[in-house]
Structures are given as structure tokens and as C-alpha cells.
């Protein structure tokens, strides 16, 4: 069965500082990996996805993520955080079938 662990429940970061959100997955074959962002009261928006190829993936809003097979990780990074990045972030894993499994989410707070 596929699963995702996001070890950090809540992260606080200063505006302009860098951000890294951790994601570990469990899947028997090559996974399809995703990061979504959910702003308060909104639906989930896809930030980026990894299928194969280059293990460093660029997404929207200045985010990037790196797939490390040896560590079963897909961590999300942003070099300089803006106040508008305050949101809930979800990592998800799929196997090419119809089901995405989501992690429990990481809440990001940005302080001025």
C-alpha cells in the first residue's frame, strides 16, 4: 500500500528566509509524486509533480522539489519565502492508477 509521511506538522519561517518541507513516501514501484498547496478556505492547487527523469523538479510560485530514491523522499524547497506562502502544504504519492494518497500536511506560518 502506498503512504506518505510529512514529519513536520507546523513550520514557522521569517519572510525572505528559505523553506524546506519534508516528505517521505512508501511505494513498491516507481512513484508519481506531487506537492499541493492549500490556502485558507481554498481548494488544493498543484505546485509540482515528479514522474521520471531529472530528480530536481521546478514548480510554480518559485518552488522546487528533489526526488531521492535512496531516501524515499521528495522534499519541497523555496529559496525566499513571501508572506503569501503561508498555507497548508500536502505531499501526495500515486502509482499511475487512480488513487492519490496524501500526507497529513504541514502548516507554514510566515512571520514578518
**DSSP label at 72?**
T
Provide, rounded to whole angstroms, the least separation between the CB of residue 70 and another protein. Answer: 23
Whichever of 15 and 66 has its CB closer to another protein, that residue is 66
Whichever of 5 and 15 has its CB closer to another protein, that residue is 5
Q: For residue 6, which of 43, 37, 30 has the smallest C-alpha distance? A: 37
Q: For residue 55, which of 45, 63, 65 has the smallest C-alpha distance? A: 65
Provide, rounded to whole angstroms, the least separation between the CB of residue 16 and another protein. Answer: 26
Provide, rounded to whole angstroms, the least separation between the CB of residue 40 and another protein. Answer: 11
Query: CA 31 to CA 92: how far, in whole Å?
Result: 10
Provide, rounded to whole angstroms, the least separation between the CB of residue 79 and another protein. Answer: 24
Q: Give me the residues that bind another protein (CB under 8 A), please.
A: 32, 34, 36, 38, 42-46, 49, 51, 88, 90, 92, 94-102, 104-105, 107
Cell triple for 21:
518541507
Whichever of 43 and 53 has its CB closer to another protein, that residue is 43
Amino acid at each position: 500500500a502506498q503512504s506518505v509521511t510529512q514529519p513536520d506538522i507546523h513550520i514557522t519561517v521569517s519572510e525572505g528566509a528559505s523553506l524546506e518541507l519534508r516528505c517521505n513516501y512508501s511505494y513498491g514501484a516507481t512513484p508519481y509524486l506531487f506537492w499541493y498547496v492549500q490556502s485558507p478556505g481554498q481548494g488544493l492547487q498543484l505546485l509540482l509533480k515528479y514522474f521520471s527523469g531529472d530528480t530536481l523538479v521546478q514548480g510554480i510560485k518559485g518552488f522546487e522539489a528533489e526526488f531521492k530514491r535512496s531516501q524515499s523522499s521528495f522534499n519541497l524547497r523555496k529559496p525566499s519565502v513571501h508572506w503569501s506562502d503561508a498555507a497548508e502544504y500536502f505531499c501526495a504519492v500515486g502509482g499511475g492508477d487512480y488513487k492519490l494518497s496524501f500526507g497529513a500536511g504541514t502548516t507554514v506560518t510566515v512571520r514578518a
